[in-house]
A = this chain, B = another copy of it.
Amino acid sequence: MFEDRTKKRTELGELGEFGLIDYLTRDIVYKNESTIKGVGDDAAVINNANINTLVSTDLLVEGIHFDLSYSPLKHLGYKAAVVNFSDIIAMNGTPRQLVVGIAVSNRYSVEALDELYNGIKLACDKYKVDLVGGDTTSSISGLFISLTIIGEAATEEITYRNGAKEGNLLCVSGNLGGAYMGLLLLEREKEVYKANPASQPELEGYDYILQRQLKPEARIDIIKLLKEKNIKPTSMIDISDGLASEILHICKQSDKGCNLYEEKIPIDATTILLAEEFKIIPTIAALSGGEDYELLFTIEQSDFEIVKSLEDIHIIGHITDKNSGANLITSSGAAIPLKAQGWDALKENE
């Protein structure tokens, strides 16, 4: 949270672009046989033996997607990479190779960028992804990170957003709303700190909630578990913008409706407590908070018996005819049309 001024600072200009790339990628070891050539040529080379290549890209902007006053650079790198991997996992694929573009102003030192890269490399190690290339350049102000993940999946394994069928069960992994409460907590402590820089942030006892915001994980364990149990989701998406927005994506692309049961939405006890403290209805945090990176997916009704026994997977509703619409069925039994009020990068930040 606070910069250690005793740390060594190397100006970016001392290394130059090529020197910086060499420095940042000095200790990368490739983990995938398919990685033929990584950093150091015009392009990375990935050899795929008759399997589908998946590719997804994210662009993260300082002041829009992250706030360095409470997000340490190593956490930021870790999260940026994991969030990018999550897109491949949400296709039921395995993330394999990552390319990273970074634009920074000279306000950043080499050590700061190294911290960012260390976070990215930590995520790559954990998820067995090879960092195979990138581009490093300067910006007029602020930090920009672009990540492109390449993954793979056999044709019959890929899950699209458009495969939900009427009668399918709607499932979600883990619990929701925590990442958003973590963000509110960090923003509150930032305001306290700005008002009184001598104050210490009150973050004790909130480890879990802070981790949900600062160091989320992508649910590769869930897609492995489903494979083990021979269950193939009919559609799948990861929850980046909030449950409501993601359900609407699946409904729209599958040309279906759905009933989502409020009382079935999994919310952690810490999230509920903190939501009450912030005077927020926990269901709203789950529906619209976003950034939980859990998996939302649909399965055949015939898989019900197996799925209901799986830890950390929750059945929260079912797919209906398009004309019924996408509805939240409240605890009192009322049907309310679902609306995407989640984080919308372009609408919120102007």
Contact = CB atoms under 8 A, between A and B. Distances in A.
A65 B137 contact: yes
Contacts of A149: 43
A337 interface: no
The copy count of this chain in the complex is 2
A45 B158 contact: yes
Contacts of A101: 57-59, 146
A270 interface: no
Contacts of A61: 103, 137-140, 144
A45 B56 CA distance: 9
Contacts of A347: 13, 16-17
A42 B137 contact: no
A64 interface: yes
Contacts of A253: 40-41
Interface string A45-68: 111111111111111011111000
Q: Which residue of A55, A65, A345, A347 has the most chain B CB atoms within 10 A of its CB atom?
A: A55
A57 B160 contact: no
A12 B56 contact: no
Contacts of A238: 42
Given A41-B91, A54-B44, A88-B43, A59 B346 contact: no
A161 B63 contact: no
Contacts of A139: 61, 64, 144
B57 A346 contact: no
A36 interface: yes
Nearest to A102: B59
A163 to B, nearest CB: 10
B150 A16 contact: no
A25 to B, nearest CB: 14
A64 B345 contact: no
Contacts of A47: 51-53, 155
Interface of A: 12-13, 15-17, 20, 36-37, 40-59, 61-65, 86-88, 90-91, 93, 97, 99-103, 106, 132-142, 144, 146, 148-151, 153, 155, 158, 160-162, 237-238, 253, 344-347, 349-350
Given A45-B52, A59-B102, 14 more contacts: A20-B346, A42-B56, A42-B238, A43-B54, A43-B56, A43-B87, A45-B53, A46-B54, A47-B51, A57-B100, A58-B101, A62-B140, A64-B139, A136-B346
25 contacts: A12-B346, A12-B350, A40-B253, A41-B162, A41-B253, A42-B238, A43-B88, A43-B90, A43-B149, A44-B56, A45-B153, A46-B55, A47-B52, A47-B155, A48-B53, A53-B150, A55-B55, A55-B132, A55-B148, A57-B134, A58-B135, A137-B346, A140-B142, A146-B146, A148-B148
